[in-house]
Amino acid sequence: MLKGKQSWIFNNRPVIAATGVTGGPFEANGRLSSDFDVLFDDLWMAEDSYEKAHRHLLEVAANTAFEKEGVTADDVQFMIAGDLINQITPTSIAARQLKVPYLGIFGACSTSMEGLALASFFVNYGGGNYILTGATSHNAAVEKQFRYPTEYGGQKPPTAQWTVTGSGVALVKANEGKDSGKPVTTSATIGKVIDLGLTDPFNMGGAMSPAAADTILAHFKDLEIDPSYYDLIVTGDLGKIGHETTFGLLEKEGLPIKREQFKDCGMLIYHEDQPAQSGGSGAGCSATVLYGHLLNEMKKRVYKRILVVATGALLSPLTVQQNETIPCIAHAVSIEMNE
Amino acid sequence: MGNKKPESKEVEQYKQFEKNFETKRPVFKNCLKAFLVGGFICMIGQAITYFYIYFFSFTEQTAGNPTVATMVFISMLLTGFGVYDRLGQFAGAGSAVPVTGFGNAVISAAIEHRTEGFVLGVGGNLFKLAGSVVLFGVFSAFVVALIKTILIKLGAI
Q: pLDDT tens across A270-328, in order?
A: 999 999 999 999 999 999 999 999 999 999 999 999 999 999 999 999 999 999 999 99
Of B25, B104, B128, the CB nearest to A158: B25
Nearest CA in chain A to B78: A151
Residues A173-198: what's their mean pLDDT?
93
Contact at CB, A153 and B89, closer than 8 angstroms:
yes
Going by C-alpha positions, the residue among A276, A151, A159, A155 that lies closest to residue B34 is: A155
Q: What is the ipTM of this complex?
A: 0.85
pLDDT tens digits for range A11-57: 999 999 999 999 999 999 999 999 999 999 999 999 999 999 999 99
Residues of A in contact with B109 (CB under 8 A): 149, 152
Using a CB–CB cut-off of 8 Å, the residues of A that contact B are 48-51, 144, 148-159, 196-198, 203, 206, 209-210, 240-241, 244-245, 248-249, 275, 278, 322-323
Contact at CB, A151 and B87, closer than 8 angstroms:
no
- Asked whether residue B2 carries a pLDDT value surpassing 80, the answer given is no
Residues of B in contact with A245 (CB under 8 A): 17-18, 21
- Can you list the alpha helix ranges (DSSP code H) found in B1-130? 9-19, 27-55, 64-80, 84-91, 93-96, 99-112, 124-125
Rounded Cα distance between A198 and A210, Å, is 11
Going by C-alpha positions, the residue among A37, A49, A42, A36 that lies closest to residue A24 is: A42
Of A149, A159, A323, the CB nearest to B23: A159
Distance from CA of B28 to the nearest CA of A (A): 14
Nearest CA in chain B to A242: B21
Rounded Cα distance between A203 and A41, Å, is 29
Residues forming beta bridges with residue A308, ordered by sequence position: A234, A333
Length, in residues, of chain B? 157
Contact at CB, A206 and B21, closer than 8 angstroms:
yes
The answer to whether the beta carbons of residues A265 and A285 sit under 8 Å apart is yes
SS3 state at B49: helix
The residues, any chain, with a CB within 8 Å of residue B104's CB and separated by 6 or more, are: A151, A152, A153, B75, B76, B78, B79, B84, B85, B88, B95, B96
Residues of A in contact with B105 (CB under 8 A): 152
Nearest CA in chain A to B95: A153
- Can you list the alpha helix ranges (DSSP code H) found in A164-256? 204-223, 239-252
Strands, E, within chain A: which ranges?
Answer: 2-3, 7-9, 15-23, 38-39, 78-82, 102-104, 130-137, 162-163, 166-173, 182-189, 232-235, 262-264, 280-281, 305-313, 328-338
Confidence of residue B113 (pLDDT cuts 50, 70, 90): very high
Distance from CA of B134 to the nearest CA of A (A): 17
Give me chain A's average pLDDT, please: 95
Nearest CA in chain A to B101: A153
Contact at CB, B115 and A49, closer than 8 angstroms:
yes
Of A16-30, A87-101, A151-165, which range is least confident?
A151-165
Rounded Cα distance between A84 and A137, Å, is 7
Nearest CA in chain B to A155: B89
Residues forming beta bridges with residue A40, ordered by sequence position: none
* DSSP code at position A192: P
pLDDT tens digits for range A196-237: 999 999 999 999 999 999 999 999 999 999 999 999 999 999
What is the pLDDT, as a whole number, of residue A220?
97
- Asked whether residue B24 carries a pLDDT value surpassing 90, the answer given is no
Residues of B in contact with A144 (CB under 8 A): 112
Contact at CB, B10 and A196, closer than 8 angstroms:
yes
Contact at CB, A198 and B89, closer than 8 angstroms:
no
SS3 state at A40: coil
Nearest CA in chain B to A52: B115
Residues A97-101: what's their mean pLDDT?
95
Rounded Cα distance between A65 and A70, Å, is 8
Residues of B in contact with A51 (CB under 8 A): 115
What is the pLDDT, as a whole number, of residue B4?
54
Rounded Cα distance between A297 and A26, Å, is 22
Residues of A in contact with B99 (CB under 8 A): none
